[in-house]
């Protein structure tokens, strides 16, 4: 950075798990010794698991949205704006709030979702992976009177691989509570050979629950299209499954502004698996926007952001050693009936992924709640109960 004097200018694109953790660490450690600009087009943050809580009536949309107006941190400025272009060579972005430049740029813009790419999904189905889609599904489920339901994945990779399984189990409980389960069928269509491939124990536990609750499991399959007239889902191998209600995981892609930036290879940003550095000097990328090799989930983005934060802190404070990314993450899994399981997984470059499974319990439900409340406390300085 050429011996530039004054605070290090750090430009953070995206205020999800990665952007929030990164800016929090930088503020805690550097304060006014860093000039951090955090840019996101949204006005607030919503946990992924909160979308399902709203969808199944556990809480309200208002209760799970955390306004970025509450982000008050030394050395950090939040800018709500849409990013129009990214120049990784100059570490500069153009936004509808003007241009911004940094000595360092961190791209944490996640993956965009594209329901319209799957023929028939917008016309005949409902996606539940965006915040708006999940919240709208609440009303769809409220008016559902029974029938054939498909929870289906339309492409790979996709965020939070356990989420479709959680949705199928929570849907079962929802229908039981409404007296509609005997009048309904639930099918789960996923491209994975097991619900959670890195953890055979977790997969076996989920498959046992599917069998006990009469949920039809269709592994290693993708939904390619929906036929609105005949009300069938067409799978990649040509098989057709009829439905009355389709809940879909839509196609994931990098945001268009990232695709146009020159940062991507094969659709995602390649990074050093240990440091999260891109091919451009002083440009990093974390989370769903990368091809780092870990699942697309917030806990991995958070851990990657912590590694980048450590590197930037060590530049300003050489006595503070930087670390490397270890590929670890904890994933909570809703089993229904107030029971939550947990998988601790590790994805290291060149190694086979592995995971340790903790059986579902009501204690892990409390642990999951603390996971959410602790992060809202750190990131936003607010108390919050996720249940």
Write out the DSSP string of 80-95.
E--EEEEETTTTEEEE
- Residue 349, pLDDT score: 66
Q: From CA 289, how far away is CA 271, in angstroms rounded?
A: 10
Residue 304 near residue 276, CB atoms below 8 Å: yes
- Residue 348, pLDDT score: 72
In the predicted model, what is the mean pLDDT of the chain?
A: 93
The domains located in the chain, with CATH, are: 8-111+254-326 (3.50.50.60), 114-252 (3.50.50.60)
Strands 44-45 and 66-67, by their bridges, are antiparallel
Question: What number of H helices and E strands is found in the chain?
Answer: 10, 23
Q: From CA 70, how far away is CA 311, in angstroms rounded?
A: 27
Write out pLDDT tens, residues 377-386: 999 998 887 6
Residue 197 near residue 345, CB atoms below 8 Å: no
Nearest to 246 by CA among 164, 151, 316, 155: 151
261 or 387, higher pLDDT: 261
Confidence category of residue 2, pLDDT binned at 50, 70, 90? very low
Average pLDDT for residues 362-384, to the nearest whole number? 93
- DSSP H helical ranges for 143-182: 163-178
1: pLDDT strictly greater than 50: no
pTM for this model (two decimals): 0.93
Average pLDDT for residues 73-99, to the nearest whole number? 97
Q: From CA 96, how far away is CA 84, in angstroms rounded?
A: 7
The 10 Å Cβ neighbour count of residue 137 is 22
Least confident of 210-214, 338-342, 354-358: 354-358
Write out pLDDT tens, residues 3-20: 456 799 999 999 999 999
Average pLDDT for residues 162-186, to the nearest whole number? 97
- DSSP H helical ranges for the chain: 17-30, 48-55, 61-64, 121-124, 131-142, 163-178, 200-213, 256-259, 298-316, 362-380
Confidence category of residue 347, pLDDT binned at 50, 70, 90? confident
- Residue 322, pLDDT score: 79
Distances in whole angstroms, Cα of residue 10 to Cα of each of 101, 117, 347? 8, 35, 28
Average pLDDT for residues 190-194, to the nearest whole number? 95
Write out the two tokens for 285: 């990328």
- Residue 387, pLDDT score: 57
Residue 254 near residue 269, CB atoms below 8 Å: yes
- Residue 135, pLDDT score: 93
136: pLDDT strictly greater than 80: yes
What 8-state DSSP symbol labels residue 97?
T
Nearest to 77 by CA among 96, 58, 108, 100: 100
Average pLDDT for residues 257-275, to the nearest whole number? 95
Tokens 């089993």: give the residue.
335
Tokens 């969808």: give the residue.
55
361: pLDDT strictly greater than 60: yes
DSSP string, 259-298: HTTT--BTTBB---TTT-B-SSTTEEE-GGGB-SSS-S-H
126 or 71, higher pLDDT: 126
Average pLDDT for residues 105-117, to the nearest whole number? 96
- Residue 288, pLDDT score: 93
216: pLDDT strictly greater than 70: yes
116-125, 355-364, 376-385: which is most confident: 116-125
């Amino acid at each position: 950075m050429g011996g530039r004097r004054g605070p290090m200018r750090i430009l953070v694109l995206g205020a999800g798990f990665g952007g929030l953790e990164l800016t929090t660490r930088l503020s805690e450690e550097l304060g006014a010794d860093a000039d951090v600009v955090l840019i996101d087009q949204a006005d607030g943050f919503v946990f992924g698991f909160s979308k399902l809580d709203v969808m199944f009536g556990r809480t309200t949309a208002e209760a799970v949205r955390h306004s970025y107006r509450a982000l008050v941190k030394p050395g950090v400025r939040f800018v709500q704006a849409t990013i129009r272009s990214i120049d990784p060579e100059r570490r500069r972005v153009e936004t509808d709030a003007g241009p911004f430049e940094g000595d360092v740029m961190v791209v944490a813009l996640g993956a965009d979702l594209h329901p319209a790419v799957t023929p028939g999904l917008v016309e005949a189905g409902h996606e539940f992976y965006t915040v708006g889609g999940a919240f709208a599904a609440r009303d769809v489920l409220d008016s559902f009177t029974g029938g054939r339901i498909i929870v289906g994945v339309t492409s790979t990779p996709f965020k939070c691989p356990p989420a479709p399984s959680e949705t199928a189990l929570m849907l079962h409980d929802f229908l039981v509570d409404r007296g509609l389960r005997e009048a309904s069928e639930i099918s789960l269509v996923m491209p994975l050979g097991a619900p959670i491939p890195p953890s055979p124990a977790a997969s076996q536990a989920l498959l046992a629950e599917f069998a006990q609750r009469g949920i039809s499991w269709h592994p290693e399959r993708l939904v390619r299209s929906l036929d609105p007239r005949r009300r069938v889902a067409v799978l990649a191998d040509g098989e057709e499954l009829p439905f009355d209600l389709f809940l879909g995981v839509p196609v994931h892609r990098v945001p268009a502004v990232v695709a146009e930036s020159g940062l991507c290879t094969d659709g995602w940003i390649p990074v050093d698996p240990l440091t999260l550095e891109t091919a451009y000097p002083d440009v990093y990328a974390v989370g769903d926007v990368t091809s780092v090799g870990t699942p697309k989930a917030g806990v991995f983005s958070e851990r990657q952001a912590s590694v980048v934060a450590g590197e930037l802190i060590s530049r300003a404070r050489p006595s503070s050693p930087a670390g490397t990314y270890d590929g670890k993450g904890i994933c909570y899994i809703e089993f229904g009936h107030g029971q939550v399981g947990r998988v601790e997984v590790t994805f290291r470059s060149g190694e086979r992924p592995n995971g340790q499974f903790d059986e579902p319990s009501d204690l892990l439900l409390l642990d999951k709640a603390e996971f959410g409340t602790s992060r809202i406390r750190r990131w936003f300085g607010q108390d919050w109960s996720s249940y």
